[in-house]
Amino acid sequence: MTRKQKRLALIGSALGVFGVAIGLILHQLSGNIVFFYGPTDMVQKHIGPGVRLRIGGLVEKGSLVERAGKSVTFKVTDGKDAVPVAYTGLLPDLFREGQGVVAEGALDKQGVFRADSILAKHDERYMPREVVEALKKQGKWVGPNDQLADQARAQ
């Protein structure tokens, strides 16, 4: 084996080891990565049941139903599409209809998103970045600066 062939074999081996390492890292991370989707993204991408993800949008007005115990159902909407959500547990104090929410969980076979955690906005001005981006895609976002501009136009 010539010196050049030895060098190529060494580089090829190093690339192979590097590729295997990257593959193992990605395989281990695949169980921990949770993607964010808006309701329209979920409908368009036809996400299957059991895939763990986060959804965000606004709690659709008139959709909040409290069940026995601590169970609630509601819909998360971005103004175009809505996803039904079922959750059992304590809701954040600021959770209510018309407010921004991020839910983490998975779809079941009936197409209901089974959330195991709910995040709600914590003051009048805060909105999760993912929710803002999803609402902007749908043209439904009215930010604090937009509200001030609307008030100025009304005067």
Tokens of 102: 């991020």
Model confidence at 123: pLDDT above 70: no
Model confidence at 128: pLDDT above 90: no
Q: What is the pLDDT of residue 86?
A: 94
Is 126 annotated as ligand-binding?
Answer: yes
For the ranges 86-95, 131-140, 143-152, the lowest mean pLDDT is seen at 143-152
Task: Please report which confidence band the pLDDT of residue 115 belongs to, taking 50, 70 and 90 as the band edges.
Answer: very high
Q: What is the pLDDT of residue 29?
A: 84
Is 87 annotated as ligand-binding?
Answer: no
The residues that bridge with 107 in the sheet, in sequence order, are 113
Q: What is the pLDDT of residue 23?
A: 94
Task: State the average pLDDT over residues 124-147.
Answer: 69
Kindly tell me the burial class for residue 131, based on how many C-beta atoms sit within 10 Å of its own C-beta (0-12, 13-18, 19 or more).
buried
Task: State the average pLDDT over residues 47-72.
Answer: 88
Beta strands in 49-98 (DSSP E): 52-59, 65-66, 71-77, 82-88
Q: What angle do CA 58, 49, 127 make, to 5 degrees?
A: 20
